[in-house]
Chains A and B, each alone.
Chain A
């Protein structure tokens, strides 16, 4: 056995209570040593099968942690064995532990492999476990994710139900925060508030609601079990197997009537509050130690996310994203995990990360449509296609202007519009701070949806211009047809500031600021002439 595996086995044998530090350490080692993944899986499955019943759950928790945090290859290696492992444990443990097992299984049903959409373990294995649990009456016939029907028997999970759950938790957090200044607690409190905002503003899918519910239960368990304050009772679900269902919803059961002392003691061990050390020999004396409650492992539904909040929810449902943004988000989530470790993790990432193919392609082929004129890239989703169309329109307009072609067909000599231009003055601090760069780009949204049909004649042969009204202080204007910005330039010959290459809009010639490019005007006129006015629908001239 390699050194890694030997020390792994050693640490594993210390997992005799629900210790988050040990589970996290062993998870990290597993993450860093994928080359011995099969060895690690062997050790863990052996431990699950051979440890005394009171210790089995913790080894299962470790397996859960590795599969959710690391995923491939661990979840694949153990996948075919999940049903057998689960049943083996089930057969020998007490009722309290079985409740934990059901809760653990609930998280497996909705967990996805890191960075992918596949379920954590093979669907057929999960279905077998589910079938078993139903048979022994531990599960109602509520459907799994693979079945699409919603249970009719229980109250439907809804946004408002979860909001009221959160509302119950918030005062408890506030009270706690008044007493201590724990940053973790603070984070959780903020996440709860954020979650409430989302729930208030957004309808969620059933499985997302389920994920939130599970997470809320976990938070309740963590925050309330050590020293239960006056927890408002959770409305019980009136389902057929009410007792079991209720247990499953709130595993720690801190407020339940005490049945007997050994039951309590068992609960304490399971919750990680009491550590029980006992030689795996029948009759040997157990050794009990008190353990601080914050360090126990709670199986989560691991769905990748950037922060606490995204860990709670399926990230793609939080915020509306285009296809490209989803891709980018998925990649950056992986990167976020890589750089958010210890102090040095950012430096390590910069030094040693081999950029994955999919990360690199965010800069290139994830935006597969490349402009043949300037090389700018666009995604092929709807947002990208729209932008590319506007972009090509813009190239076309600019090119027409720069080459002086484009309106020759009218024979009015419109092509002589020159593109004489000068550099503008820079903005002052105030204007710059309030400036929006969209004004510089080709995607500016039209403010005028429908421009009028123009039908007058324009003298040909000279560059037309519109003199800026003398009372006017705003030199910037825009063409009513193409909506491009038109800036005034100084006309030396007449000593006036002019909008060069423009004419007053024939439709509204009284308003001195309404102007159109002569080229745009001619194009519009030509289109109107040839298509007999059928172009009204077109918002923009291509």
Chain B
């Protein structure tokens, strides 16, 4: 094992490598800060991270990750060592931490997967036998409080589905996370292959102009503009229903996705957010509702949805391994996701494109904050408003979503119905020349001119 910076003349190269054994059905829970890279290989046994199986004897690099490596069928042996990330401003207090836990909810999660897969199977068979009256695979909504492991469960369910040759659509409704997209958005992505664990968030790349060592995914992305859904619940609900329409029409068009169904990850919602939950259930025609580790919520939902006969509500225990993720860590993951959107990873570099554009040529909207009392004033726009005075103070170091709208379009209704083409990062707005210095993911002319400013900041 040769690592840059760790010469063979190192004093004690042996101590840098450690071996850990994960007993069958146990988890190795690890927290890796951004200033550190964990370089590890599975030397024996079958190991997986949130449903994605790891190759044997291949180096894997993880950084800025809190996760668990699970040993589903046999004991696992892992050899690992840590590398300091040079150039990483280490304002983090956290150090690498790890422990083995024998407590695991993986049996419950596997049972849930098997039940869902069974529904996919009977849907698939039905659709073969009844090409005239096709039905949809299971639509699964995962709910729960903060840091209860919703995202991990969604990854496990998606990962296991892929391993059994199914292709569900993974829907992310938590704008805090960018899933095959940037924070501030909601998205839907067919999971046609395994996740790429070595990318920010552990999801992987979307399509690029070149070749990737791991097959990319193709998402549909809707802009929201904030990390927190509370900033504008109306806009949030609107975009959920827009996304729902598009996802259901994909299911109409695509038999393998139709059989695979939908898996929906959500922000922390409780019974006070019932109107949001109700919207999701109807927009995605949810028929299985999974509540993680919250007896009360599942009982309350059972009462509220009593009239719905075609909705199964089940609860699963929260994984005891879920760690509380603090604000600064979340922010750091967001930054990493944005960085990788433009620049790729250490393993797969992407070439973004820097250019100047005239404000003149652009129409910039911004999402309205309705958390304040404004929302009750009906004459004000509910969703988006024109960014009245673009300036360095509201544009510098921000992320702007480019909509799919053609240049000539001026209708606010179409703006609401458009999805995201991509994002630009504004590094500087020249107040005098009215020019924006921007970073585009893809080289060439600026593709569209109707933009939506977001509340997501980013420093290069």
Residue of A at shortest CB range from B217?
A440
Alpha-carbon separation in the docked complex, A123 to B105 (Å): 44
B210 and A419 form a contact (CB under 8 A)? yes
> Which of A318, A364, A373, A488 counts the most B-chain CB atoms under 10 A from its CB?
A364
> Which B residues touch A497, using CB under 8 A?
444
Is residue A424 within 8 Å, beta carbon to beta carbon, of the partner chain? yes
B73 and A364 contacting across the interface, CB-CB below 8 Å: yes
Q: In the complex the two chains form, is B55's CB within 8 Å of A375's CB? A: yes
Contacts of A457 in B (CB 8 A): none
Task: For B211, give its contact among A351, A353, A365, A402 (CB under 8 Å).
Answer: A402
Q: Are B163 and A421 in contact (CB under 8 A)?
A: no
Across the interface, do A350 and B218 meet the contact criterion of CB distance under 8 Å? no
Contacts of B167 in A (CB 8 A): 437
Is A423 touching B341 in the complex (CB atoms < 8 A)?
Answer: yes
Interface residues of B in 371-407 (CB under 8 A from A): 402, 404
Residue from B212, B217, B418, B447 having most chain A Cβ neighbours under 10 A: B212
Cβ-defined contact, A402 with B213, below 8 A:
yes
Nearest chain A CB to B280 CB, angstrom units: 19
Is residue B118 within 8 Å, beta carbon to beta carbon, of the partner chain? yes
Question: Taking A419-B211, A437-B218 as contacts, is the C-beta distance between A332 and B73 under 8 angstroms?
Answer: no
Known: A332-B117, A350-B316. A194 touches B443 (CB 8 A): no
Instruction: Give residues 423-438 of B contacting A (CB, 8 Å).
Output: none
Of B55, B125, B205, B418, the contact of A318 (CB 8 Å cutoff): B125
Partner of A437, one of B72, B190, B421: B190
Within 8 A of B (CB), among A374-403: 374-377, 397-399, 401-402
The answer to whether A360 touches B72, judged by C-beta atoms less than 8 angstroms apart, is yes
Residue B257 CB within 8 A of the other chain: yes
Partner of B422, one of A336, A339, A425: A425
Give 1 or 0 for each of A421-450: 1 = CB within 8 Å of chain B CB. 111111111001111111011100000000
Residues A197 and B129 in contact, CB atoms below 8 Å apart: yes
Q: Does A434 lie within 8 Å of B253, measured CB to CB? A: yes
Measured in the bound complex, the distance between the Cα atoms of B314 and A346 in whole Å is 8
Across the interface, which residues of B come within 8 angstroms of A442, CB to CB?
215
A240-256 interface code vs B (CB 8 A; 1 in, 0 out):
00000000000000000
* CB-based nearest B residue for A517: B211
Total number of B residues with any Cβ neighbor in A under 8 Å: 84
In Å, the complex CA distance between A502 and B115 comes to 48
Residues on B with beta carbons closer than 8 Å to the beta carbon of A208: none
- Once the chains bind, are B443 and A335 in contact (CB under 8 Å)? no
B209 at the interface (CB under 8 A from A): yes
Bound complex: CA A488 to CA B110 (Å): 43
Residues of chain A lying within 8 A (CB to CB) of residue B58: 372-375
Q: A371 contacts the other chain (Cβ, under 8 Å)?
A: yes
| B217, A335: Cβ atoms closer than 8 Å | no
Given the complex of chains A and B, what is the CA–CA distance between A531 and B224 in angstroms? Answer: 59
With contacts A350-B111, A359-B114 taken as known, whether A423 is within 8 angstroms of B350 at the C-beta atoms is yes
Contacts of A367 in B (CB 8 A): 163
B94: CB under 8 A from chain A? no
Chain A residues with CB below 8 A from B126, complex form: 307
A41 CB within 8 Å of chain B:
no
CA distance A530 to B21 in the complex (A): 50
Q: Does B75 lie at the interface of the complex (its beta carbon under 8 Å from any beta carbon of A)?
A: no
The answer to whether A437 and B257 have CB atoms under 8 Å apart is yes
* Interface pair A422/B217, CB less than 8 Å apart: no
B230 sits at the interface (CB 8 A): no
Taking a contact as CB atoms under 8 Å apart, the answer to whether A398 and B218 are in contact is no
Please measure, in the bound complex, the distance between the C-alpha atom of A336 and the C-alpha atom of B54, giving whole angstroms: 30
Decide if B206 touches A441 in the complex (CB within 8 Å).
Answer: no
Q: A194-B130, A398-B213 are in contact. Are A422 and B114 (CB under 8 A)?
A: no
**A489-B441 in contact (CB<8A):** no
Please tell me if A93 contacts chain B, counting CB pairs below 8 Å. Answer: no
Given contacts A306-B125, A309-B129, contact A375 B211 (CB under 8 A): no
In B294-327, the 8 Å CB interface with A consists of 312, 314-316
* Nearest-Cβ distance from residue B29 to partner chain A, whole angstroms: 21
> Cβ of B353 < 8 Å from any Cβ of A?
yes
A355 within 8 A of B: yes
| Interchain CB contact (< 8 A) of A423 among B165, B211, B253, B441 | B441
> Contact: A332 with B121, CB < 8 Å?
yes
Which residues on A sit within 8 Å (CB–CB) of B55? 370-375
Question: Roughly how many angstroms separate A429 CA and B404 CA in the complex, as a whole number?
Answer: 9
* Of the residues B112, B206, B212, contact of A350 by C-beta under 8 Å: B112
26 contacts between A and B (CB under 8 A): A194-B130, A198-B129, A306-B121, A319-B128, A328-B165, A347-B315, A353-B114, A355-B114, A359-B110, A362-B163, A365-B73, A370-B56, A372-B55, A373-B55, A375-B55, A376-B193, A421-B350, A422-B353, A423-B207, A423-B350, A424-B208, A425-B447, A426-B422, A429-B404, A433-B252, A492-B443
Q: Which 3 A-B pairs have the closest CB atoms?
A: A421-B210, A375-B55, A437-B192
Additional A-B contacts beyond A375-B55, A432-B218 (20; CB < 8 A) = A310-B125, A318-B125, A324-B165, A328-B164, A331-B114, A360-B72, A360-B73, A372-B56, A376-B53, A376-B194, A398-B211, A398-B212, A399-B213, A422-B351, A423-B208, A426-B420, A426-B421, A436-B254, A437-B217, A488-B209
